[in-house]
Every structure is written in structure tokens, then in C-alpha cells.
Chains A and B, each alone.
Chain A
């Protein structure tokens, strides 16, 4: 483990007119660390994720990222082209709806290969071999490589989206409700897969979810948001087993026991 964080976020706020998207969010993320952001819908967690991934520009505050060469760069001062390059190579973004993160009308293999070509790979055989390898890592059979994701089930699409994001060996992955809308059995398989990949690859990840069980399984640290503000943060098991903020206590006590 290195002694420097990967991402430093300071006093980040986003306002939509007079409405608060998220306000005064500050945290550091270290390499290999998974941070869960939880809260009910409208709590500002997706706004925060979109600001961090530079899909949205914040109203105020800063976020700096440690590039592969060790240089710190201020995210909101980078050029559009630089940000896009970062997004294609060193970052991944897993959307809740796979259709937002995949190209639905090109083959599964091409969906994975496209990211490789974006980082300069040109050798067709190598790209295809890597695509096959990644499809198998996300448990998609090799004989589906030429099918379009339109022909895939929801769980398979989500696994393909994950393969597409991870193939370039990113260091930071943003996930927006990665298991939302999936059957519990499919969810369990996906969570297990994500857990394994995150540990094996040493990824840092920021996972937005309203599902506390998903947060418990995937993350080491947790931030609880309400009305755009972080009301509690800490170790995931500490926040869930000894919640201190009134809102966190409400969330934890609302979990249904099976």
C-alpha cells in the first residue's frame, strides 16, 4: 500500500439553481479502497458521483487525482480532452443501466475491444484474445463474443459492462447502483464477481448504492448522505453496527430481516 491517496476531494458542492445537489463533501480515497456512498434517492449521491467522475462540473470545491506518473492534477482544471482520456484509460464507470455504458449494436467482443483500441492497441488477434479472457473472467461464454449485448440478459449485460470497464486496467472505478434492478440470485453472483475483481486487481472504487447489504459486502468505508450532505462516515461495519447519526439509525433500522 502506498502512503498517498489516489483522490483528494475538498469542500465539493453542486447547486442546481437554489437547490442543493451535494454540499461541502470532503474525503480522501486510497488505492485499493472501496468507498460506499449510501442514502435514499434524492440524497445527492449520484450528483456527487457525477461530479467526481467529471461528468458534471461542481459549483465549488476541488478534487485532485494522482496520475500514474505520480503527478497530482486538479480534475476541474484539466482540458476536456485530458478528462476524456482519463475516463477511457485510468477510470471506469459502471452505470446502473448497462445500456448507458455499452454500445448495444456492436458485438460483445467489440464492446470490450473498443476500450483497448482507445489506449492504442491495434493488433486484432491480441485484442480479441484479451476480450475472450475478460469475457471468461466475468463468466460470459466465449461463443457469445460475436453477439450484440441486445441479445444478453440483464445480468450478462451488467457483467459485460464491467469487463468493458476493467479491460484497460483502471485504478479507479465509479459504480452507480451496480446491482440495481437485478434478481437477487443474479445480484449475488455479480457481487461475488465484483468483490473478487476488486481484491485481485487492487482497484479503488466509489460505489453509490441505496442497498446497505451491497455496501457491507463491497466496501471498507462508507459515507451516508442526506439532503446533499454527508451525515456520517467511517468504517462500513462501524457505521452499520453502531450508527450514530439519527438518519443512519433510521436507515439501518429499516432493513428488512429475511
Chain B
């Protein structure tokens, strides 16, 4: 089976120059791979570095060491050393990401926030909006909110906009950072269904889920992040 994402020996630390250059090690020797059609879950307590790993895989955090090999188009690229331009292309076509919080843009409607990733990939705006409508309906976001900018929405409403935005495209790899944190049970079930549909479509998924029910419903396996604790290697 295809393995579109291979992470090997990745390390990450933060150097705080404003605090006398103190270095905070986060993770080291992170190694795993994700196959097409499976959903792996990063496990471990808060602060273990789960979100940092996801952010490195999305190019949002720099990588100190190691390689992140991604199947991008017909070739393989190392995201850890890729140019900004390549990372942007990977985000447009290969890796999707559902963040914990929605970063809103003033004056842009919820519908267009959701449709935007498709428009960026060259899809017709009206076709993209039609898909956005069906996803927002599936996630039970009241129709009267669709034309409004999401800045004033509640946490759960914003999160559903965010999920719709992440799931609307057909990226072969999808990263999920606690997509169900502020959802009620009914909408959590919708997300579980959406994830199952992605798996069936052969998407490789990697997520963080603190909600145990959701985790058990979607996870094919758990990657224990405490095994990658920085400093453990030296010990």
C-alpha cells in the first residue's frame, strides 16, 4: 500500500533569544510513517509535542534535524528542507490541515472561508460554494450564518467552519489538530463520518484527539509521542 508520508529522525527545539538564549527541547528522533487509507493518532499528555509535530509536517514550524518525505505529485520531496514556494505548493495540492482555531479574515463570509481552498486550487467559485454549502449543512451550521464572517461565531460554530474548510479539498494527506474539541456529541459523530469517508477515499490521516470516544472510533493505531521526548535519547 502507498505510504505518502514518512517522518525520520526529526528533532525540534525552541531557542528563546529574549530569555538569554535558553533552549527548550521539544521532540527528538521522531520517526513514523502513514499509509494511504489509515488514520493514525498522536498520543501523549499535553506538552509532549503533539501539536509541534503536526505543525512541522505542515511547514508551520521549522525543523531542526531529520527528514519529512512527502509524496507530492509524481515525486518525493523533503518538507524539512523545502523552499517556501515548495511548501506552499504542497499545502495547495498534497497536505491539508485542520487547525484548532480558525484564523478569520475581516469581511469574508463563512461560506467563502470554506470554499477558498478549492478556489485556490483553480476550481470554479460557484462550484466551490456549492460544495461548501453541502458540507456546512452536513455539519449542522445554521444556514443563516453562512453569509456572515465567522469572527463573531461561537467556538463550536467556528470549529465547524474550520472543519468544513479542511475537509472540502481532496488532499491525499490530512492533518487534524483536535478538530472535535468544542463540538457536541451529534457534530462529533458527523466528524467521525467525514474521517471514515476520507479513509475510504485513500487519504492518509494523522490527528490529535483528546476525546476518547472519537479517538477510538477513528484511530487505526496510536503513535506514542512520549517515545520521542527530547532528552530521552541522551539518557
**Interface residues, chain A, with chain B CB atoms under 8 Å away:** 1, 30, 33, 188-189, 191-192, 195, 199, 217, 220-221, 234-235, 237-238, 241-242, 244-246, 249-250, 253
With A192-B106, A192-B107 as given contacts, are A242 and B16 in contact (CB-CB < 8 Å)?
Answer: no
Residues on A with beta carbons closer than 8 Å to the beta carbon of B234: none
**29 A-B pairs whose Cβ atoms sit less than 8 Å apart in the complex:** A1-B89, A188-B106, A191-B106, A192-B105, A192-B106, A195-B105, A199-B120, A220-B88, A221-B84, A234-B84, A235-B59, A235-B84, A235-B87, A235-B88, A238-B59, A238-B60, A238-B61, A238-B62, A238-B84, A238-B87, A241-B60, A241-B61, A242-B62, A244-B62, A246-B17, A246-B18, A249-B17, A249-B18, A250-B18
Whether A33 lies near B15 (C-beta < 8 A) is no
Task: Tell me whether B85 is interfacial, beta carbon within 8 Å.
Answer: yes
How many pairs of residues, A versus B, come closer than 8 Å at their CB atoms? 53
Residues on A with beta carbons closer than 8 Å to the beta carbon of B17: 245-246, 249-250
Chain A to chain B: the 8 pairs with minimum beta-carbon distance, closest first: A246-B17, A188-B106, A192-B107, A242-B61, A235-B84, A249-B17, A221-B84, A242-B62
Q: Which residue of B lies closest to A254 (CB)?
A: B18
In the bound complex, how far is the Cα of B106 from the Cα of A242, in angstroms? 24
Residues on A with beta carbons closer than 8 Å to the beta carbon of B62: 234, 238, 242, 244
Whether B84 lies near A188 (C-beta < 8 A) is no
What is the distance, in angstroms, from A2's C-beta to the closest C-beta of chain B? 12
What is the distance, in angstroms, from A224's C-beta to the closest C-beta of chain B? 13
Task: Tell me whether B108 is interfacial, beta carbon within 8 Å.
Answer: yes
Q: What is the interface residue range for chain B against chain A?
A: 20 to 34
Contact with A along B86-102 (1 / 0, CB 8 A): 01110000000000000
In the bound complex, how far is the Cα of B186 from the Cα of A106, in angstroms? 61
Residues on A with beta carbons closer than 8 Å to the beta carbon of B108: 192
In the bound complex, how far is the Cα of B120 from the Cα of A188, in angstroms? 21
In the bound complex, how far is the Cα of B54 from the Cα of A17, in angstroms? 48
Residues on A with beta carbons closer than 8 Å to the beta carbon of B60: 235, 237-238, 241-242
In the bound complex, how far is the Cα of B61 from the Cα of A235, in angstroms? 10
In the bound complex, how far is the Cα of B60 from the Cα of A165, in angstroms? 33
Task: Tell me whether B131 is interfacial, beta carbon within 8 Å.
Answer: no
Task: Tell me whether B55 is interfacial, beta carbon within 8 Å.
Answer: yes
Q: Which residue of B lies closest to A192 (CB)?
A: B107
Residues on B with beta carbons closer than 8 Å to the beta carbon of A1: 89
In the bound complex, how far is the Cα of B108 from the Cα of A250, in angstroms? 31
Q: Which residue of A lies closest to B17 (CB)?
A: A246
What is the distance, in angstroms, from B175's C-beta to the closest C-beta of chain A? 14
Most buried by A among B15, B62, B84: B84
